[in-house]
Structure formats: C-alpha cells, structure tokens
Structure 1
Amino acid sequence: MCDANAPQQEQEESIMQGPSQAPTKAGVSTVGLGEREAKFIEACYNADVESIESMMEEDFVASVTDVNGRSALHFCAGNGLPTLCTKLMDRGATMDKQDVLGFTPLHMATGYVKLDTVKLLVERGADANIASFDGKLAVEIAEDMFEKTPAKQFFRANPTHEKLKEMVDVLDEATEVEEEDEEEEGLEEENGVTRSVNEFGDITEETENAKFVVRVKPRGEASSGNGIERRAVKVDDVKVTIKIKEAEKKA
C-alpha cells in the first residue's frame, strides 16, 4: 500500500499481522465507481500525492469510498500522509467512518504505524473508543504490535518499538479521556479511594497518589444474554495500568 518515495509520507514499515490484529493490506476495489471517483481512490491508495492534490483542487468530494467502504481518508491515513489527511478533513471527510471490517482512519494509521498521522487524527477529535467489528480498539492494535516487536534490532534500539510505545501512550490517553467523560455509574468513594466502572466494564481506582485502571478485553461485550455471545476472559485479556501522580513540590 505504501510508496516509499511518496512526498510527505512517513517511512515506517508496517508489521501488521492480518485482519484480527490490524487493517489488511488488501488492494483497493473500485467496482461500481465512476471513472473520476475510481482514479481518486486509486491515487489515495497508491499515495500519489500530486494526483490527489490536483483532484482536490477541482473540489472533488472527499466522501467517496471503494466497495469495501474505505474512503480517501482511510487510505491517506494508512499511507501516513498527514498533510493530505488535514486537507481531506477540511473538505468534509468523515474522521470516524468505518469500513466493512469496522476500521476507521485511526485504525488504519495505527495499523501501519504512522505516528504523526495518529497524533493528527487524535488532535482533530477522532474517536479512539470506536472498535472494529471484531472488537479491536486502535489502542489495542498498537498494544498487540508493541508486545510483538523486539526492543532491540542488531544490538541497537529498535525505532519501530519506540514509535509503537509512543503511539500506545497517545491512544491510551485519548481513550481514557473519552472514558472519563462517560456517566460515572457505580461511582464509589471510601477512605480516600474513588472507584468507578464504565460501560465497558473497565474498573478505575484513584487515590491521592496513584491511579489504577483494570481493562478487560474484549471490550463492549455483555457477559450474559441479549443475543450477545458470552466469551471467557483469559489472563492475556486483562491489562492493568498504574499511574503514579507526581508529588507536589515543597516550597
């Protein structure tokens, strides 16, 4: 999908493991599109910056998608083209549009390890709490890849590992901000400890000095009835985040 020589393009290599881990590398499909729409989508898929900008100057509609539901923003995000992503969003491209697998442009940028584009989408308000249809949040895709990427490469620090670590932090913070805005059902406070459970079943406990978050995957699945399949939780499905608050400096 990525053209290593494309201008403005981030140069990280993708390490995606398939649709269960991250967006696929499946080619673009323009069946049913008009000639102009097909050329535009293909240009976005191939990171043909000159053609994309030329067609956008002609006030081309940014909402056109291929048969898999992937928009120009999906492909530009996956190719790591933040400048073009900005132009598309300014022209009305939908940040949170999901394709046939439920992937958003944020999923695409995450799966292809495009850190600058991930930061841009988060800053522009992309919803980090949207899960793909198999239950993957963007932060979970980043976490899966981070855990599978060696910290060192040829006895040196692996830049992809470091980039994934920063990406996890960015997405985790974006996800937590949204979660903290949810209605605090089940909020309890006892002996200086605040405890809340959000709609995903995540448990947050906060004291004066630290914050503990217990996150259970897969998210958003009910544990009983209502036509939703029950799924057992494995040890690997549980993530515990501990953040120590910085002590106030003494005068």
Structure 2
Amino acid sequence: MAALACSVAASMPAAGNRTCAGASTSGRWAAQAPAAGSRRRSTQWAQRKLHQQAQQATLGAPAAAGAGQRRRRRGGLAVAAGLFGSGEIVEVKDLKGIRVLKNEDDTPRVEYLVEWKDGSPDTWEPAANLADNLLRDYEQRWWGAVKKGDEETVGTMMEGGGDVLARTVDENRRSAVHFAAAMGKAQLVQRLLAAGGEVDLADKEGYTPLHMAAGYMHTSTIAALLAGGADPEQEDRQGRSPLELVESLRAALPATNPMTVQRRMALENVIQMLTANMFEDVDPAAVLEKRVNEESGHTEWLVKFDDEEEPVWVDAKYVSQEVVEDYESGLEYAQAEAVVGMRQQGTMRKYLIKWSDDYPETWEPEEHVSPDLIRQWEEQHQGLGGSSSNGSNGSQGSAAAASANGAAAPSMQLQGSAA
C-alpha cells in the first residue's frame, strides 16, 4: 500500500521503499473504462454499495467499513462489498485530499478524499482501501508540481490537506518548503509555513530551507523564512550555518574575474542580510512559564527581558540549557547590585549578593553569580583579608579599591534562598 511519508508521522504505511518523488501523471489510467452497461470488475474501478429502496436498487452514499461490511482489495482499486443490495461499478474520478487520523491505539491512519465520477458525494477512504496506482498518481502529482514550482497546482492540492502535504518529505527528507525556497517562491514559502511546514527541517545533508534560499541568493525568500522563525545559525552536516555556506561560496569565486562581480555582489547582499539577523545572547530578566504550542507542538518559554515591556513566548530551541535547568530547579533571575561579601569553606565559595529590588541580601554559590561581579569584588579587595560573616575562612571587607563612582555595576544574577 502506498502512502505519503510525513516527517511528523514516520510510521505511516508505505509500499516497500517507495518514495513520493516522480513526475506528475495526473489523469492517466492503466486500463480503459468499461463500456456502458458493463458489469465486470475492472482493475481501475471501485465497486460501491447499493441500498434497496421501494424494491428498486438506487446508488447511495458509500458507508464506512464497519460491522456487517467488509472491504477487500480487488485488482487495482478498492472494492467495497456490503451485505445489503447488489453492486455497480463506478469510476473514481480523482483523489482530492489527504488527512492523517489516529486509530484507537494511537497509530496513524491515512485517508484520501475520493471524488466519484458518477457525481456521488465525495468520501474519505482509508489508504488501505485504495490501489497503489491511485496513490502513486496523487503523490507524483504533488511532487511534480512542487519541483516545477507550479504554484497553482500546489495551491489546489493544499486545499484538500495542506497541513499534511506541507509536512511531507521525499526520499532526501526534503519538503515542499525546501523546493520553494530553492526556487525563490517567497509567497509559496509563506503559505507552506502557515499550513504547518517545518521551517528548520534538515534534509539528509543537513540543509534547511534557509540554506537553500541563501545558497541561491533569493533575498525575498530569505526574508520570508526569517520572518517565519528560521534559525540562521543551524548547521548542515559539514558544520556550516547558512551564513558560513554563503561565505564559502564567496571565497570560492575568483577574485580578479570580472565575470563574477555580479554574483559576488549578490552574495555580499545575502551575507549582510544573514548577519543582521544573527542571534545575540541576552540574559532574561525572568522566566515565567512553560507551555507546548498546540499548533507547532514545540515547547515554548515565557520570558521577560529588560528591554521589553511585556514578556514574550520564546521557542525552546532559542533558550539555553542552563536557563532551562535554572527554571526547573526553582531558581529565578533577578538584578544584582553588587557583591558585598565572600566566604569559603573548603573549595566551595559563596558570595553575599545585594539585590537591586530590595530583596534581602542572600548568600549565593559561585556558579550563580556573574563573573563580572566576582571580578569587581576581587579587584576591590586585592591584598585585603578579613573574616566572613559566619566565621568561616573568607573575606568581607570594605571597598578599598572601589571604582570611581564607588558602586559596582549591576549584572544579571540568579536569585535564590539565603544559605
């Protein structure tokens, strides 16, 4: 049985090692349609159940397989055999959509929206009830349109399952977002991302859609990917970020060849664009909450920054492991004004922290204190000795070597309970 392979549902049923790649064969059939009045079962037709009403058999909407009804594979397409009424051969016109549902045991089930040529209402049919040739045609139509940049066909197919198709990958683990990015289809990239396409999905070589767009110098597509949350620092299997990939392309150009001037200028524009969007490390003022985004499925953290009026939700991939561990340990971030004391017991040091928010001074372990504050404390107390506040070996003295304004510069610290 053939089925689309989705990056989010790797256990989806598939036929052997078949992939979704291939040229479009939309509308082509391997067998001729039976002549009018023919009752034979063709390999290219599906038999539908008949209901008897008023002692005459009339074609009704097909019921889902269940108690009292069995479905079996017949030739090329599905054959639905009911216990009531006789059968009539009806042509399948097209597959119009795809969806992924969950069975009772949480395993995925792929269904396709079938359009019947006799005008009967469209119905969702499990992939197991459809022949390989129908599924293969649907898959090839999708990948053919994606790889040609046929936005009209892609858009039409997404109307019947964009959330699944946007996350579908080919044999190289490339999604439609990869191909749209490589061809500079910025609007299509936006549509695919809005439908659930993964912006940072890496293919077998580690290339993300941003690697693709940057390598082909599509600045408008780069902007669309960055606006969609693309990580400009994600590395491929050779350890290169999109910026480093473009820099390597620029370095490979002959410096004195006038034929490469235009390409070099285009690469320079991409480099400037990516450089402007590189991340900077910013200490959070507070980490307030954790959640799983229902749409993306990603873990997010609600973070308050000093330069932002309101806290913002930040994807977990942009939050350092140290911050996560601090949050899960029950520590909170707070603004420290200065180190005002130090004590040492064996190899362990603790510093007495004065907080800027009038929180009581607390003893904090060395790993919770900014290295800048510790360095200021040490500079102020070089050559000075003294006893610690609790009698342990250590020092807590006056600011003999204080800075010109007599106060230590504030820095971000972890605020915990007093020792």
TM-score by length of 2: 0.34
Contact 1:40/1:55 (8 A) holds in 2: yes
The equivalent residue for 1:134 is: 238
The equivalent residue for 1:116 is: 220
Give a deviation string over 1:220-249, Cα, whole Å, max 9, x none. xxxxxxxxxxxxxxxxxxxxxxxxxxxxxx
2:47 equivalent to 1:56:
no
Helix, strand or coil for the counterpart of 2:277?
Answer: helix
1:173 deviates by 2.8
The equivalent residue for 1:39 is: 141
Contact 1:43/1:52 (8 A) holds in 2: yes
Cα separation, partners in 2 of 1:178 and 1:89, compared to 1, 3 Å = farther
The equivalent residue for 2:21 is: 30
Residue type of the alignment partner of 1:38: Q
Helix, strand or coil for the counterpart of 1:73?
Answer: helix
Contact 1:41/1:65 (8 A) holds in 2: no
**Distance in 1 between residues matched to 2:254 and 2:159, nearest whole Å:** 43
1:148 deviates by 2.8
Contact 2:20/2:136 (8 A) holds in 1: no
Helix, strand or coil for the counterpart of 1:158?
Answer: helix
1:83 deviates by 0.6
Residue type of the alignment partner of 2:175: S
1:188 deviates by 5.0
Cα separation, partners in 2 of 1:54 and 1:147, compared to 1, 3 Å = same
1:158 deviates by 3.1
The equivalent residue for 2:191 is: 87
1:153 deviates by 6.9
Give a deviation string over 1:137-164, Cα, whole Å, max 9, x none. 1000111112233578758x93322221
Output aligned runs, 1:210-229, within 5 Å: none
The equivalent residue for 1:215 is: none
Query: Higher helix fraction: Structure 1 or Structure 2?
Result: 1
Helix, strand or coil for the counterpart of 1:103?
Answer: coil
1:40 deviates by 1.3
Contact 2:20/2:139 (8 A) holds in 1: no
**Distance in 1 between residues matched to 2:254 and 2:234, nearest whole Å:** 28
The equivalent residue for 1:168 is: 271
**Structure 1: runs of 5+ lacking an equivalent:** 1-27, 192-251
Cα separation, partners in 2 of 1:114 and 1:52, compared to 1, 3 Å = same
The equivalent residue for 1:125 is: 229
The equivalent residue for 1:99 is: 203
Q: Which gives a bigger RCO, structure 1 or 2 (Cα 8 Å, sep 6+)?
A: 1
Give a deviation string over 1:86-109, Cα, whole Å, max 9, x none. 111111111011111111111111
Contact 2:250/2:267 (8 A) holds in 1: yes
1:35 deviates by 2.9
| Higher Rg of the two aligned structures | 2
> C-alpha root-mean-square deviation of aligned residues, in Å?
3.1
**Distance in 2 between residues matched to 1:76 and 1:115, nearest whole Å:** 13
Cα separation, partners in 2 of 1:180 and 1:153, compared to 1, 3 Å = farther
TM-score by length of 1: 0.55
**Distance in 1 between residues matched to 2:226 and 2:269, nearest whole Å:** 13
Identity between Structure 1 and Structure 2 (%): 30
The equivalent residue for 1:10 is: none
1:54 deviates by 2.0
Helix, strand or coil for the counterpart of 1:171?
Answer: helix
Helix, strand or coil for the counterpart of 2:204?
Answer: coil
Give a deviation string over 1:34-53, Cα, whole Å, max 9, x none. 43233212211121222222
Residue type of the alignment partner of 2:148: N
Residue type of the alignment partner of 1:58: G
1:166 deviates by 1.6
Contact 2:186/2:224 (8 A) holds in 1: yes
